[in-house]
Amino acid sequence: MRYIERCEERGIEQSNKYTAQKFIPEKLCSPHPRFLGLAMCIKERRGCKVEIKVPIFEDERTNLTEATEAEPFPGQIYMDSMHFGMGCACLQLTYESQNINHARFLYDMFLPWTPIMSVLSASTPLLKGQISDHDFRWEVIEQSTDCRTPDEKDPNSINYIPKSRYSTVSRYISNHQYVKNFHNDVNFRKLCAEVRLALIREGLDERLADHIAQLFIREPIPVYEPELAFPTLNNSPKKGETCDCAASPLVMQHSEDTQALSGPEEAQKAAADDQTSFSSFPNHCQSCYDMANCSAHFLRGPALDGNAHFENVQSTNWNSLRFKNPPTEDSKIGWRVEFRPMDIQLTDFENSALAIAVGMINNIINTFDLDFVLPISLVDENMKRAHNRNGLLQTKFWWKVPLGSEAAGPTRLAVLRDSNFLSSNPEYVALGSPEEQKAEDEARYAELYVWQILNGDESIGFTRGLIPMCHELMQLKQWPEQEV
């Protein structure tokens, strides 16, 4: 409140009529309509303003029992604005790939590294002028953009969505030999069935179709007026009334496609298993509801600026990694992977060091036969641990370590290009049932400190830490150490 008083003294009006936030004037938001529009859409969709809570650092004078106007949740730092999340600076790196399979492979192999680089970069211990008991910003921005309704947060609801739209990655997307179905163990029972079935019908494999269908369970926010120029949206009658769009070609085509897709066995199973999201357009007839019951509605309108409809949904699904398609079919920009979770640092040197570290991980992934793949649930657990105060030194993280002959000798080179990035080791054969493969994989999971992941630890038989592998790569490439 003192901050607002100081702003008012400088002549900034504090009305906040759109967001009702208590601590930061809306006028401090970027003048671009996207940002205040995001805040308004998130508040409107969830039915209330955002509620961000982070544990406060406890010392002998910390109030842990008494609620106040500024801190209604004892023991927590309370924030109620997107500014606290979207206002955090971060370090994000994008890597271009050779083709779509290469990008999918990079995406999956980068994923277990996201919590490790997060804790290495963690530098957000101060929030709203107070000392937090966490060092990392991620949970703040997750909560500041969480547009889920109470029903979508309820694990017992068919509409349950496990995570905020700003969250950790929820599934592996490649068909590489080391990625198994049991690694995708976070249950998103809600997918956009229309998108999924359409993609599978056009020949896309299930893992990538599931990834894209998961994007479309989120309503597009914000939506600019030109993007609403659809035949079905010309009128806005009350719900339940008949409107002009009932016989719209778009609605009729949707009905025909739904019937056509429900024939094959796989389509029937997908339709039964997957749930669609709520409509973004509450004032139209039931026919509109039947057609516009998920963000796929935007795929049925006229194309706006190339892939603008898709990019609207893609760019507001903020994850720890982003799988990025070429902007247009004729673009010289290829398939890319964006590494997104790291906190920004105070100096150019520190930011450069982190950028080079991720770059070396990229080089190692592309050169050596390495298997970093962990179940999504363990990656999520690692990301939670990355928030811990002094987690860099005191917290262990799940990691996959080589066993037996796999751990001995020099690291095997990968043959990724020969298999179009679907295989690193042509001699590898997955034996046994899926349950036996899972048990064998779980035998390699271990909890390690960050220093062990970086340096290796011979005392536990783990010699392939990041730094030794960097030296091995430099020797292979004949890079002088003093120049790296």
> Which CATH number do you get for residue 45?
3.30.590.50
Closest CA to 135 of 349, 465, 385: 385
Query: What token pair was written down for 290?
Result: 């039947």
Q: Would strands 321-324 and 336-343 be described as parallel, antiparallel, or unpaired? A: antiparallel
Asked if 429 and 357 sit in the same domain, the reply is yes
pLDDT digits (tens, 9 = 90+) for 253-303: 333 444 444 444 444 443 433 333 333 344 444 444 444 445 555 555 555
DSSP secondary structure letter of residue 368: B
Give the pLDDT score at 310. 84
pLDDT tens column, 186-195: 988 788 888 9
| pLDDT value for 300 | 57
On the question of pLDDT at 364 being above 90, the answer is yes
pLDDT for 290 equals 42
Q: Do 295 and 419 fall into the same domain?
A: no
Q: What is the mean predicted confidence (pLDDT) over 424-451?
A: 93
Tens-place pLDDT, residues 315-341: 999 999 999 999 888 889 999 999 999
Lowest pLDDT segment from 97-111, 219-233, 418-432:
219-233
Q: How many residues comprise the chain?
A: 484
The token duo for 63 is: 């109030």
In eight-state DSSP terms, residue 404 is G
- Strands 336-343 and 130-131, bridge-based pairing: unpaired
Say if 55 falls within a structural domain. yes
pLDDT at residue number 233: 46
Domain identity same for 330 and 433: yes
When pLDDT is averaged across residues 393-411 and rounded to a whole number, the result is: 84
What is residue 156's predicted lDDT score, i.e. its pLDDT?
Answer: 92
- Residue 156 domain-assigned (yes or no): no
Who has greater pLDDT, 242 or 131? 131
Candidates 73, 70, 72, 77; CA nearest to 55 is 77
Q: Which domain holds residue 333?
A: 1-148+320-484
Residue 155 resides in a domain: no
pLDDT score of 298: 55
pLDDT band at 3 (very low <50, low <70, confident <90, very high): low
Asked if the model's pLDDT at residue 437 lies above 90, the reply is yes
Amino acid at the residue 96: E
- Compute the average pLDDT of residues 28-55: 89
Burial of 189 (0-12, 13-18, 19+ CB in 10 A): middle
One domain, residues 309 and 326: no
- Whether 136 and 186 map to the same domain: the answer is no
Q: Kindly state whether residues 52 and 100 are assigned to the same domain.
A: yes
26, two tokens? 């809306």
| Spatial separation of the C-alpha atoms in residues 58 and 196, rounded to whole Å | 48
Q: Considering the domain boundaries, does residue 436 fall inside one? A: yes
Average pLDDT along the chain:
83
Last residue of a domain, one of 252, 286, 319: 319
Contact 150, 278 (CB under 8 A): no
Of the two residues 251 and 464, the one the predictor is more confident about is 464
User: What per-residue string of b and e applies to 208-234 under the rule 16 or more CB within 10 Å gives b?
Assistant: bbbbbbbbbbbbbbbbeeebeebebbe
Residue 33 belongs to a domain? yes
In a domain, 163, yes or no: no
Residues 259, 324: one domain?
A: no
Q: Which amino acid is at 348?
A: D
Residue 423 falls inside a structural domain: yes
Identify the domain boundary among 319, 347, 379.
319
Are the beta carbons of 453 and 399 closer than 8 angstroms? yes
Same-domain pairing of 178 and 118: no
Domain termination residue (choose one: 297, 319, 341): 319
* 49 burial type by CB count under 10 A (0-12 exposed, 13-18 middle, 19+ buried): middle
Q: Say yes or no: 223 and 341 in one domain.
A: no
Cα–Cα distance, 233 to 237 (Å, whole number): 10
- Residue % of the chain over a pLDDT of 90: 58
Q: How many folded domains does the chain comprise?
A: 2
More confident residue, 33 or 419: 419
Q: Do residues 453 and 370 touch, judged by C-beta distance below 8 A?
A: no
Q: Could you tell me if 311 and 324 lie in one domain? A: no
The total of other beta-carbon atoms located within 10 Å of residue 166's CB is 22
What pLDDT was estimated at residue 318? 94
User: Within this chain, do residues 335 and 283 fall inside the same structural domain, yes or no?
Assistant: no
> How far is the C-alpha of 216 from the C-alpha of 471, rounded, in Å?
43
How far is 316 from 246, CA to CA, in rounded Å? 30
Separation CA 49–CA 40 (nearest Å):
9
- Asked if the structure places residue 208 within a domain, the reply is yes
Phi/psi zone of residue 21: left (φ > 0), alpha (ψ -120 to 50 degrees), beta?
A: beta
More confident residue, 384 or 463: 384
Evaluate if residue 248 carries a pLDDT over 60: no
* 69 and 104 assigned to the same domain: yes
